[in-house]
Copies of this chain bind each other. A is one copy, B any other.
Amino acid sequence: MGMNSNDILAAIRFDDSGLVPAIAQQHDTGEVLMMAWMNSESVAETLATGHVCYWSRSRRAFWRKGESSGHVQHLVEMRIDCDGDTLLLLVDQTGPACHTNRRNCFYRATRGGKLVTIAEPVE
């Protein structure tokens, strides 16, 4: 994409750890796929390459989504909320987004007073 990222970087209010939560949504279906974190470098890389790059808090490293699995996220549009502390990434997800091999990470729901599994891994 080669997008200049100065505008949005200036608008983001990163937290005390230098991170901002980023919600990934499939651009055409509206499905919420996952939520992960970004730092300023991963935001800039994502805008420059058009491939979503998060920051892994557990590994303390860049997490280029799909780098090992092939389940990449192509960025369609990056949005920012009213107070600048959350990003919404409209993406085109290749394959499942979740490490459990499910299409999205939100496969457990409260139904009938119980937490139930509502989606199975893709074959």
Contacts and interface: CB of A to CB of B under 8 A. Distances in A.
A88 B105 CA distance: 10
B82 A100 contact: yes
A78 B21 CA distance: 19
Q: Chain copies in the assembly?
A: 2
Given A30-B30, A88-B32, A110 B25 contact: no
B82 A114 contact: no
Given A23-B23, A32-B23, A7 B114 contact: yes
Interface residues of A, number: 40
Contacts of A110: 3, 5, 7-8, 47, 77-79
Interface in A98-118: 98-100, 102, 105-111, 113-115, 118
Closest 9 CB pairs of A and B: A30-B30, A7-B115, A81-B105, A79-B106, A35-B86, A88-B106, A4-B113, A82-B105, A79-B109
Given A7-B115, A47-B110, A78-B109, 15 more contacts: A3-B110, A5-B110, A11-B108, A21-B21, A29-B30, A32-B88, A35-B86, A77-B109, A78-B110, A79-B106, A79-B107, A81-B105, A82-B99, A82-B100, A82-B107
